[in-house]
């Protein structure tokens, strides 16, 4: 499978994906894990999205399930970069767009400049 973009952002759920999609201005691929990953599901993601050969960013909620997923993904994808949301908001979907944009831009992910005001 060939991919049009080098960047992959891994999130937990569809609401996270929608929030990020509003903010980014490049064709990064946003992948939902829908929670924790079993070995089989992770292997499928690894192969389907060629995660070993792409720039991978992990952006999950700051709650117990998100932190568990972050640790799991970090072990399996040591080259992945971490993007954190403030514990004030706890969830990617609840993080204001301007703060999310600043966090993404800090990792050289192109964002719509209207969110950087």
For the chain, 117 residues long, give each residue's pLDDT as a single digit of tens.
455 679 999 999 999 999 999 999 999 999 999 877 888 889 999 999 999 999 999 999 999 999 999 999 999 999 999 999 999 999 999 999 999 999 999 999 999 999 997
Tracing tokens 């990617």 back to the chain, one arrives at: 92
Q: All domains of the chain, ordered by start, with CATH?
A: 7-107 (3.40.1360.10)
Q: What is the pTM of this model?
A: 0.92
With residue 53 as reference, give the H or E element that holds it.
none
pLDDT of residue 4: 62
Please state, in angstroms and rounded to a whole number, the distance separating the CA atoms of residues 19 and 13.
10
DSSP state of 11: E
Tell me the angle at which helices 14-23 and 97-105 cross, rounded to the nearest 10 degrees: 70
The percent helix, strand, coil of the chain (3-state, each to 5) is 40, 15, 45
């Amino acid at each position: 499978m060939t991919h049009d973009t080098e960047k992959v952002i891994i999130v937990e759920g569809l609401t996270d994906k929608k929030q990020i999609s509003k903010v980014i201005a490049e064709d990064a691929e946003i992948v939902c894990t829908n929670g924790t990953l079993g070995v089989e599901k992770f292997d499928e993601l690894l192969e389907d999205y060629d995660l070993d050969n792409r720039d991978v960013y992990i952006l999950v909620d700051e709650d117990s399930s998100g932190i568990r997923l972050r640790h799991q993904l970090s072990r399996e994808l040591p080259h992945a970069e971490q993007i954190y949301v403030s514990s004030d908001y706890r969830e990617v979907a609840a993080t204001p767009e301007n703060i999310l944009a600043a966090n993404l831009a800090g990792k050289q992910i192109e964002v719509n400049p209207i969110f950087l005001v």
